[in-house]
Every structure is written in structure tokens, then in C-alpha cells.
Structure 1
Amino acid sequence: MIKETIVEGPSVPEALDAALEEMGVQQDAVEYEVLEGGGKGLFGASKAAKVRVWIKAGYVAPGAVEPDVDDEDDLEDDTLVNHAGYDAVSPSDLTDEELDAIADEAVNVINSILGPLGIESEIEEYEGDENEIIMDIVGEDLGILIGRHGRTLDALQILVSAITNRRIERRFPIVVDVSGYRYRRRLKLEEIARRAADRVARQGRPVELRPMTSFERKVIHMVLRNDRRITTASQGEEPFRQVVVHPK
């Protein structure tokens, strides 16, 4: 675990958030000092904020265990919910009419969940990079569907996938998103992964990232799987399971 770091960002909160990501801890585990507050500099140019962050004395990381080098659980496609007796089907094996029918069923499932909650939204459907169907829920004030670090959204996806797959009697990749959250989160995770890999390669010491959901861990593993300087492994138990980046 990184004990202390200095990080810059567009603002103090963003610099602090980047430091927490790099150190792999939550804010209640650290103390910090604002070295530069950021804002407007000479001639109106923006100045970066800078913070020094360190682990509180006596802090013990929760749920820490020896690294588990077998990360197949994180690399598996968690958009597929395993139902006994249902065969997995690839989008390429289906006609456009069959794909539309699956998407319509997923929309019905989402509406049946959100309707009783009084949540007004629209659902945009499109095909993902891996041929999965992405159901993007859009509307006002939908943060409640995302939750802290996307955990509520992950639970919603599992529920929607389970019900939809049961109704169509097949296992089909369905991704539930909220206002493009997963896309934005993926971009940030890719940046975190590369920054951690560079730090490990430079310092020759492992870096523990903060606890993440299975979706987030999968992104980290996938981004770094071809980086010959480092290896990745997961450790801990849910909800404290985290990725550790090791030097080779």
C-alpha cells in the first residue's frame, strides 16, 4: 500500500480523489494537506491544485488477504448471468428480429422495476463494442440508480439480466447503464490503470487500488493484461476486493 503521495488535479477535490484512487483507500483512511489551491493564475490561466495525502497512523486495510493470482472471476463477462439449463447465445447467431425482441423484453423488465419506484426515464438501446445490447437509462436525477461507485447499477444489471434471460430462456449479454455512467467510468478507470502501471514500473513496488466492483476490476485487468512491465491480481473479499498491480 502506498503510504504517502503528492497529486495534482484541476481542483482540490479532484486531486484528492486521484490520490485516493492511486493509494487504494477511502477518504476516512487518510489525512491530507493542500499544497496549492488551484484556480486562476497570472493572466487568467488555470493553475492546478496540489495535495499531499498520507495514510493515518494505525490504519489497517479492511478485508486484506494474500493476493489471489487466479482472477478468472474478474475477467469473466459479468453481463452473462448463469442460469442452469439456459444456453449462452452470441448476438451474431441471431436475426435482427430476434435481437429486437430481446431488447424489447429488457426494456419491459427495466420499466417494471423503475415504474413502481416512480422513476421517470427513457431507455436508449444500442450495440456495444462486444456485440452486447446496452440499455442506457436516461432522465433527470438518476443518481439513485448508480449508487456509490456504481454498486446499485451493478445490482440493477444483475437483476435485469436474470429476469430477461429467464424470460427468453437464453443467456444473452445485456449491459444496463445510466446516462452513460459506465462509459465515463471506464475512461477514468483506464487512466487509473495506466497511471498505476507506470508508478509500479518506475518504483518497482506493488500498488493496491481501492476496492472496486467486478466491472471495475475487469476493466483494470483488461487494460493492463498486455503490459509486459507488470502483472495484476485481485485480493480480498467483497465488498473490499481490490486489484493489486505487481512489478514483473
Structure 2
Amino acid sequence: MSVENVTERPVPTVADLEAEGDVAADFLEELLDIADIDGDLNLDVRQGRAYVSVEAEGDGIELLSAPDTVQALQELTRLAVQSKTGSFSRLILDIGGSRDARRRQLERLVDAAVVKLDEGASQASLPAMSSYERKLVHDIVADRGLTSESYGEGVDRHTVIRRR
């Protein structure tokens, strides 16, 4: 039996990530035009990822900023970037402050889990979520002086919180 060599993806440079953000912005501008939504796009590089935020006002942006919609649009945008650049994208999309709103929701989930631990539970499991959301949860948990690990596969992957 042979073992295949697993090669890691090269770490993208800031210039690569900025180019990725530009491709994503072009895609999103076309999408917003089709939806007849006026919006401003902001591009940034954060923690080794291209970060694109869409700021707009009105009913259209409220519909687009729903968590499941943001996740779906992020995946479509990543695919558009990958199609154009030939490279895998870990781009983060924020629409109308949806990422900050989701972080606040995750903080409340962690706080509820901490209450369970305070009441004597040995661990508290959170619902399944995306890798980005799990990373946010791990950061929130660490800030509260607890430990966390992810378990499960695919769409069932979730985080378990414990005391140190």
C-alpha cells in the first residue's frame, strides 16, 4: 500500500489576497447591479484572508444580510474567485454588518454554555456551524478562560466547551 504525499497549499501573499478581493468585488458589484441594490464595497486583508464587506441601506441589503444568505453568497463569491484565479479562496464576506451580528449571537451561545458549566455540566455542546464560525467560537471561549474542541465531520462538525 502506498502513501500519497499531501502537499499544503502555498500561503497567499497580501498582494494575492488583495487581487482575490478585487475579483470578489467585481463579482459582487455585478450581483448588486442585477439585484438593483446600491452598495459600497470595502476590501481588506485580515488574518491571512481577503475580507469583503458590502455596506448599503434599504430592504434589499436586509434580505442579503441574513446569515444563511451571506453564507451562500460567500460560497458563490469564493467559486467566482477560484474560477477566475485558479486558486482556492478562503475569502470572508460581510453584508450589512452580518459578521458582527453573527459574532454577537455566537457570544450569547457561548454564554449560555458557560451557564451550563457553572451549573455542574462537564461540557457543553454547541450546534453545528461553519469553520469560520467555529473559529470565532474558539476565540470567544479562549477569551472566557475555557477550552473548546471541534468534533464531527462535514455539516455535523460542532464545538464542545469545557473548563480548563
Structure-2-length-normalised TM-score: 0.71
The 1:105/1:89 distance shift into structure 2, 3 A limit, reads farther
- Which aligned pairs between 1:168-247 and structure 2 lie closer than 5 A? 168-209=85-126, 211-214=127-130, 215-224=132-141, 231-234=148-151, 238=155, 242-245=158-161
Please give the secondary structure, in 1, of the residue aligned with 2:117. Answer: helix
Q: Which residue of 2 aligns with 1:109?
A: 27
Distance 1:105 1:229 in 2: 39
Unaligned residue ranges in structure 1 (runs of 5+): 1-86
Alignment length (residue pairs)? 154
What code does the residue aligned with 2:90 have?
P
The 1:174/1:236 distance shift into structure 2, 3 A limit, reads closer
Larger RCO (alpha carbons 8 Å, 6+ apart): 1
The 1:208/1:236 distance shift into structure 2, 3 A limit, reads farther
* Contact 1:88–1:170 (Cα < 8 Å) also in 2: no
Deviation of residue 114 (structure 1)? 2.7
Q: Highest Rg: 1 or 2?
A: 1
Structure-1-length-normalised TM-score: 0.50
Percent same amino acid at aligned positions?
20
Distance 1:190 1:152 in 2: 21
Q: Does 1:145 align with 2:64?
A: yes
Distance 1:122 1:226 in 2: 33
* Contact 2:18–2:50 (Cα < 8 Å) also in 1: no
Deviation of residue 171 (structure 1)? 2.3
Distance 2:146 2:30 in 1: 48
Please give the secondary structure, in 2, of the residue aligned with 1:173. Answer: coil
* Contact 1:132–1:175 (Cα < 8 Å) also in 2: yes
Unaligned residue ranges in structure 2 (runs of 5+): 1-7
RMSD, matched Cα: 3.2
Please give the secondary structure, in 2, of the residue aligned with 1:170. Answer: coil
